[in-house]
Amino acid sequence: MTSPDIFHVDDDPDFAFFMENAVREVDKKLTIKIVTNGKEALQYLKLLESSNCRPRVILLDYNLPGLSGVDVLVKIREIRFLANVPVIILSTSDNPEHKENTRLLGAESFQTKPMGYKALVDKIKIICDAWCTD
C-alpha cells in the first residue's frame, strides 16, 4: 500500500470533487485519498499505519456527521504513528473559538473553506508548498 500525499475527510461530495481536481491542477504527481466521514477516516488511517505509510498532510472538515472533525482530530493525535503529520481543519466557519480549540487539540492550522474553484486551487497550492514538498 502506498500513502496518499493528501488525505482529505469531507462529507460534501461537491467539495470533494473540486478538491480532487484542484490537487491535480496544482501538481499532477500529487495523490489524494478522500473519505466521507470520521469513522471511515480512522479506519483508513489505521490501515495506513499497519502498512507503515503516512500521508504528508491531513485535511479535515470541521463539520462531519457522526464523529465530528474535532473528534477525529483528537483520535488522530492519539495515534503515535501520525504524531508528526500536519492536520489542517477546513470549515465554512471562521469562529475564533473553533480555531483556538482545534489548535489546542493539535491542528496545524484552521482554514476557512475558500469560495470558488480558483480560490481553492490557490489554497491547495499554499498547503502543498508548505507540507507536500520534499
Nearest to 64 by CA among 35, 88, 85: 35
Judge if pTM exceeds 0.75.
yes
* Per-residue pLDDT tens digits for 40-66: 999 999 999 999 999 999 999 999 999
In angstroms, the CA 122 to CA 85 distance is: 22
Quote the pLDDT of residue 132: 84
Pairing, β 87-91 against β 57-61: parallel
Q: 133 falls in which pLDDT band (50, 70, 90)?
A: confident
What is each CA distance from 33 to 19, 44, 56, 95, in whole angstroms? 10, 10, 12, 27
* Per-residue pLDDT tens digits for 72-120: 999 999 999 998 999 999 999 888 999 999 999 999 999 999 999 999 9
Q: 1 falls in which pLDDT band (50, 70, 90)?
A: confident
Domains of the chain: 6-131 (3.40.50.2300)
DSSP 22: H
Cβ atoms of residues 2 and 100 within 8 Å = no
Pairing, β 6-9 against β 109-112: unpaired
Quote the pLDDT of residue 102: 94
| 82's grid cell | 501520525
